Amino acid sequence: MEPLRADDIIDRQRMRRKLSFWRAITIIVIVAGLIALTASFSGDRFGPQTRSHVARIAVEGTITGDDRLLALIERVRRSEQAKAVIIAIDSPGGTTAGSEAVHDAVRKLAAEKPVVAQIDTLAASGGYMVAVAADRIVARQSSIVGSIGVIVQYPNFTGLLENWGVDVRAIKSTPLKAEPSFFGEPPEGAEEMLRALVMDSFDWFKELVAERRGFDQATIDRLADGSVYSGRVSLANGLVDELGGEDAARAWLTAQGIDEDLKIVRWEPRREDSGLFGLGIAAEFVAGRIGLSNPASSVTKALNQRLFLDGLISLWHADALLTSPTAEP
């Protein structure tokens, strides 16, 4: 056998490095794919959701009638293994239409399974609208509850534009079209038009709460002045049924005939695939397993909470969404 030449040795070393590189890439892709499959197939397909349990659905942050949340509630409703549901609420509210959509979805769910709302820090405005859809409401003594009302806010940039020498003009079919505008004083009748819209939605909101909580007209008029209440005051006023946390919610479900040994399983909205071979899902799954938050998810959530909400909103303290609400608003 002829001895190997130096060029042959170098070529073989290069070939080995290339093979090692592609083997490593192949292993990474396979592992990432397996993690993505584990993340997507765990849960209601092969995980604890395939056995009898109590489902836990979180309603957190600004409520916008998110399709993924509505789809999640519908999945729980259709699940034969979800014997009862805890709606865990920590929300200042959101758009009126979005809160109504979630309320309706929870009512549809409650028509088939026992549903209890468990208020943590906050269930105000649209958040409380979701809470009253449940069969029972549990809140902590220091929870913030209420703010029953509707608001429309719009900025006026007239002064700012004048400072910059900008003159915005518009040609409209009628004076009230697209009013009130961000530019200039609203024409006669514009704010009255919006006020009528707000009051109509407010009357609907009050009727909804009165019906669900059994209030007479005098009681709902007294409570629906926009005030927020502590959990203790809310209990005294009939806005909630009991003080406590998840244990109290679970105890009520047991009293409704739900097996007390059933595990509470948190249901999550289905993740959308992102990145090559589902690497986005894999990264989120791994980050969660090692106790790290997903940076992209956190940023998206923060931005969503700071977005300008177009239209009627049922929202408490919009400017404090990125801070922790306190007991002294």
What does the alpha-carbon distance between residue 210 and residue 221 come to, in Å, rounded to a whole number?
9
What does the alpha-carbon distance between residue 46 and residue 253 come to, in Å, rounded to a whole number?
25
Q: Are 126 and 101 in contact (CB under 8 A)?
A: no
Look up 108 and say whether it is catalytic.
no
Q: Which of 18, 172, 177, 263 is catalytic?
A: 177
**If we measure between CA atoms, which residue out of 227, 64, 82 comes closest to residue 147?**
227
Look up 113 and say whether it is catalytic.
no
**If we measure between CA atoms, which residue out of 197, 205, 196, 242 comes closest to residue 226?**
205
Residue 167's contacts (CB-CB under 8 Å, 6 or more residues apart) are 161
Q: Prior bond to 329 cis, omega within 30?
A: no
190-213 vs 96-110: helix crossing angle, rounded to 10 = 20
**If we measure between CA atoms, which residue out of 142, 154, 143, 80 comes closest to residue 112?**
80
Q: Which of 125, 181, 201, 230 is catalytic?
A: 125
**If we measure between CA atoms, which residue out of 266, 244, 225 comes closest to residue 143?**
244
Q: Are 206 and 220 in contact (CB under 8 A)?
A: yes
Active-site annotation, residues: 125, 177
